[in-house]
A and B are shown apart, each in its own frame.
Chain A
Amino acid sequence: MEILEFENVSVVYPGNVEALKKVSLTIKEGEFVVIVGLSGAGKSTLLRTVNRLVEPTEGIIRIGGRDITKLNKKELKKMRAQIGMIFQNFNLVNRSRVVRNVLAGRLSYVPTWRTMLGMFPLKDKEIALSALERVRIGEKANVRADHLSGGQQQRVGIARALAQQPQIILADEPVASLDPPTSHAVMKDLRRINKEDNITTLVNLHFIDLAQEYGERIIGLRDGELVFDGPASEVDEGVFEEIYGRSITDDDLRGGTQVAPREEG
């Protein structure tokens, strides 16, 4: 069943910068899609149109068959609550404890008067803590976010998205700030959650080896245009060179061991 549909979606930024050019694609429920392309190719923009952090200039985006480009403010918030997002720089509140950061994923499900007083229902606290356990850092709940290593911080980011109990997870360059072994660990976590919970997952990557290893389906963007869409098994170096518009270099590879240490730092 299709969960996400793009129909001729374009984004033009102020100053006439065309970030997306008439992109059309369909994503099925439970798919694990990796979007590749050079920086500036429109990966981030594409991801952000799904939850309308970036407003599409034209075209239609449907989630579960419903056009989301026309939603009013209230409906938009409700829709965003169903979509988890993971960021390159984790976007955690450094000074807050891990559990606070994860609870932030429950904000849109809890009445505002409760969140203002910090009185989360027991059910939501349980959801937050089990989200942490699922990324194997349950024991860090009471630690300040900035006392964790980069990999652990990104797992808090994943836990925050999981706490939303989302239908879709958007991950924008989730491993770009991490070292190779940690990158593999985080990608494995994303893949595992995708399989276990059947959450449709879209991941932006610019490392082609990670894309090949973890992606089921690969979408290639070049200058805001969709230039490739197919299963990962069909992708080889030639396809990447086509997407990148140049030959592949070592910088395009994350490399590193694929067996990540269970706990780092």
Chain B
Amino acid sequence: MKINWQLFRRIVNLAVILGVIIWSMEGMNINLERIARGIPSIGNIIKLMFPPDMDFFSRSLSAMMESIQIAVIGTTIAAILAFPISFLSAAKIGVPFSVVFLAKQILNAIRTFPELILGIFFVASYGPGPLAGVMAIGINSIGMLGKLNSEIVETIDRGPIEALEASGSNRAEVFLYAIFPQVLPQFLATALYRFELNLRAATVLGLVGAGGIGVILLQSLQFRRWPVVGMSLLIIIVVVTIIDYTSAYIRKRIT
């Protein structure tokens, strides 16, 4: 008898996936009935949010502004701290291998550390408020910015460096006139991209007390004041959308 191996492999794959799903559902005590009840309740929550509480418009908006401010300052701190690391962790530009390796590992470790946990630590040591949020974002974003930026440094054109060396420029001048202008626009673009992500993070950080619109959400969720939640979500949706588009536009222009 001839065995259809492709079909066999497919069946095995499917069986494994199905097994994992069933195991998960068993473990979490989830059955189809619970799901069937869960999905309508999502609709129900959304219904409760309407109409959004207009009295909370200005408070929510100013809290959202605070989230933006947290993201702006946090991203800037991260960009400044990540700048030297971007070069230290870039291979092929004359940094010793051991330094590059160490810097890359540090960046990886920072990247896997969840923002929210950092937020809790900073709230514990700095007290509740936006500054804790700024620090959480500022430290956490170093990981990703450093990684992306070092990749940019690794791909620069060496031609201008050779040209300036040939004309007798010193190292500082080579850096400022041959390396810096090549990487700067892309560094800015990665910082802007990270800013978009950080704005979302800044809306969440309030849930652990680190300022921004999350604080209003936390309070209104505690007391199930759904129309206030609706208002806050509405403002998040509108503001994040506007900033996403603006940021994407600027990124396109500068690179």
Contact = CB atoms under 8 A, between A and B. Distances in A.
Interface of A: 51, 53, 76-85, 87, 89-96, 100, 104-105, 107-108, 112, 115-116, 157, 160-161, 164, 170
B160 interface: yes
Interface stretch (B16-24, B92-100, B168-176, B239-247): B168-176
Interface string B117-150: 0000000000000000000000000000000000
Q: On chain B, which size bracket covers the interface?
A: 20 to 34
Contacts of A105: 167
Interface of B: 157, 159-160, 162-170, 172-173, 176-178, 181-182, 184-185
A85 B169 CA distance: 13
A115 B159 contact: no
Contacts of A108: 167-170, 173
A91 B160 contact: yes
Contact of B177 (A77, A90, A93, A170): A93
A77 B168 contact: yes
A100 B181 contact: yes
B160 A80 contact: no
Given A53-B162, A94-B157, A107-B177, A112 B170 contact: yes
B163 A115 contact: no
Nearest to A166: B167
Given A95-B182, A100-B181, A160-B163, 18 more contacts: A51-B166, A53-B166, A79-B168, A81-B167, A85-B163, A90-B159, A91-B159, A92-B163, A93-B177, A93-B178, A93-B182, A94-B157, A104-B163, A105-B167, A107-B168, A115-B173, A115-B176, A116-B176
B173 A107 contact: yes
B19 to A, nearest CB: 54
A231 B176 CA distance: 43
A84 B159 contact: no
Contacts of B163: 85, 87, 91-92, 104, 157, 160
Contacts of A100: 177, 181
Contacts of B160: 91-93, 104
B125 to A, nearest CB: 38
A84 B172 contact: no
24 contacts: A76-B168, A77-B168, A77-B169, A77-B170, A78-B168, A79-B168, A80-B165, A80-B168, A81-B167, A82-B168, A84-B167, A87-B159, A89-B159, A90-B159, A91-B162, A93-B182, A95-B182, A104-B177, A107-B164, A107-B173, A108-B167, A108-B170, A112-B173, A115-B173
A161 B169 CA distance: 13
Nearest to B159: A91
Nearest to B162: A91
A107 B172 CA distance: 11
B181 A93 contact: yes
Contacts of B166: 51, 53, 80, 83, 85, 170
A51 B166 CA distance: 7
A105 B163 CA distance: 9
Contacts of A77: 168-170
A81 B162 CA distance: 13
Contacts of A80: 165-168
A112 B132 CA distance: 40
Nearest to B185: A95
B137 to A, nearest CB: 29
A107 B185 contact: no
A170 B181 CA distance: 25
Contacts of B177: 93, 100, 104, 107, 115
A47 to B, nearest CB: 10
Nearest to B175: A116
